[in-house]
Structure 1
C-alpha cells in the first residue's frame, strides 16, 4: 500500500509517495518553498500544487509544526498564528480533493523511527527527542504514540529544558560540544528520572554529531542517534494513516 507523505516545515514543504510496508520512498522527493507568511490559504495552495505534482488521488498524511488535536490546530510554531483554531484536516481535504490527515511533525518523525529506525526492535517505552532550535519530545509505549507532548517546555534550572539544552543554546552561547553535552546529559537525566524509558533516541541536527558529545552522556538508559534522517517526517506522516 502506498500513501503520499508531506513534511510541512518552516522553510520548505516536501513530499513523496511512501510504501508503508517497507517505509521506503517510491518516488523522488519534491520540495516547494514554504510561503511567507505561511497562512492557511497560502499553504493550502502549495499542498494542492504538491499533490498535483504527484498526480495523487489517494490518502495524504501531513506532518505540521503544530499541535493537532481532533483535526484542529492548537499551536503554531514557524507558521502563521492564523492557523490556531483552524480545522486543518477538513480544510486541506476540501482544498485538495484528497483525504488528508495531519499530525505534529515531531510525532511524525517519531512514527518513522519507531517502525523502521532505531526504535523498531525495542519494547516498552521509547523516548525520542528532536533537538534543534527547540526540543521536540515524542513518547511511544509498545509502539503506540502518546501524541502532542511538549516536554521540552518543562521547567528546568529556572527556565525550560529547551531553553537550557537545545542546539540553539549551544550556538548562541558558543558552547563547546563537551560543555553542551553536559547540559544535554542533565536534561536526559531529568527525563530518565521522570519517565524511566527503555531507550532514548536523539533526532534533529545533533544526531549526526553524537560522537562529539557521546562521552558526556552518563545514564542507565541507552541513548542512540535517530536513523531515518531527512525522510523521517515524510515517512511518518504517511504511516500515521495506518499505524493508529
Structure 2
C-alpha cells in the first residue's frame, strides 16, 4: 500500500491541502483550497487549517506536514511575510498541534517546495547547488546542495538598489505595477544575476503559480546557470510538507 501523509501549504492569499503518496509525490485526493483570513492572524489561520484537514477525512495515523511563509526555528515562526506580525516569535507548531490534537511537522513554505522538487520534480538527481524560487505574493527561496536541504534561506529579501527586492520582482509586484513580461523580466534578471554572483548555482528552479506561464518570461533571462520551471507547480509546498512529515516519522 502507498504511504500517505497530509500536506498543508499556508500562503499570504490562500491555504491549500491534500493527501499525498509520499513514495511517488502524487496527490491522492482533491486539493482543497480556502482563502487566507483577512489579517492573517494565528488563530484564524489555524481554524482554516483544521477545516481543511477535517474535510480531507484522514485518520489519526497519517503524518501531517504544514508549511508557512516564515523562518521556522524550533517550531516558532521567526518572521512574517504577507501575514500578521503576530506570527513573529510565535509558537506556531504548538498552536497547530493543540488545535489538531496531534503532532505535526512544521516547515518554511519555500523549503517544502524546494524539497519536493528535489525529491520528485525538476531538481531530482541534480548535483551541486540548486536554488528554488517561488514567485508569488513575495519571493520564497530554497537551497538544495547535493540533495541536502539548507533550511530558512530568505533570499527573496536581499537588498538591491536600496530595497527588499521581492517588493520589486515578485509576481505581486508585476501585477501591482502593471508590468509587461519584458519589463518584469528586467527586474527578474537583476534579481537572479545577484543570486548567481553570490552563490554560483548549477540550476535555478522557478515555482509559484506563474510558472505555468514560464514561456513568457524565462526565455528573456540571460544567466550562466540553467533556469527552468518547477514541475510540481502550486502543489510543491503540499507535497514537500507531506514528504518531510513522513520522513520525520522514520
Give TM-score, length-normalised by structure 2: 0.89
SS of aligned partner of 2:96 = helix
Matches within 5 A, 1:229-240: 229-240=233-244
Tell me the residue number matched to 2:35.
33
Contact 2:81 2:138 (C-alpha < 8 Å) held by counterparts = no
Q: Which moved more, 1:189-198 or 1:178-187?
A: 178-187
8 Å Cα contact 2:5-2:246 kept in structure 1:
no
C-alpha displacement of 1:122:
0.8
Identify the match of residue 56 of structure 1 among 44, 55, 59. Answer: 59
1:10 counterpart residue number: 12
* Greater mean deviation of Cα atoms: 101-110 or 75-84: 75-84
CA 1:175–1:19: 2 relative to 1, 3 Å? same
- The residue number in structure 2 matching 1:103 is 107
Where does structure 1 differ by over 4 angstroms across 4 or more consecutive aligned residues? none
Change (3 A) 1:46 1:222: same
Q: Whole-Å Cα distance in 2 between the matches of residues 40 and 163 of structure 1?
A: 24
TM-score, length basis structure 1: 0.91
Query: RMSD between aligned alpha carbons?
Result: 1.9
Q: Alpha-carbon deviation of 1:169?
A: 3.1
* Unmatched runs of 5 consecutive residues or more in structure 2: none
Where in structure 2 are the equivalents of 1:55-204 lying within 5 Å?
55-58=58-61, 59-204=63-208
SS of the equivalent of 1:140 reads strand
Give structure 1 stretches of 5+ with no counterpart: none
Contact 2:128–2:202 (8 Å) recurs in 1 = yes
Tell me the equivalent position of 1:42: 44
Q: Take 2:49 and 2:138, find their aligned partners in 1: how far apart are those partners?
A: 26
Alpha-carbon deviation of 1:67?
A: 1.8
In 2 relative to 1, CA 133–37 (structure 1 residues): closer, same or farther, beyond 3 Å?
Answer: closer
The number of aligned residues is 244
Q: What's the offset of the Cα at 1:45?
A: 2.7
Q: Secondary structure at the match of 1:241?
A: helix
Q: Deviations over 1:2-54 (max 9, x none)?
A: 11111122333221111111001111222333333433223333333332221
Change (3 A) 1:15 1:163: closer
Preserved CA contact (<8 Å) 1:16 1:30: yes
- Give the Cα separation in 2 of the matches to 1:187 and 1:74: 24
Q: CA separation in 1, counterparts of 2:111 and 2:86?
A: 22
How far apart, in 1, do the equivalents of 2:32 and 2:218 lie?
Answer: 34
Look up the SS of the partner of 2:245 in the other structure: coil
Structure 2 distance, partners of 1:237, 1:62, is: 6
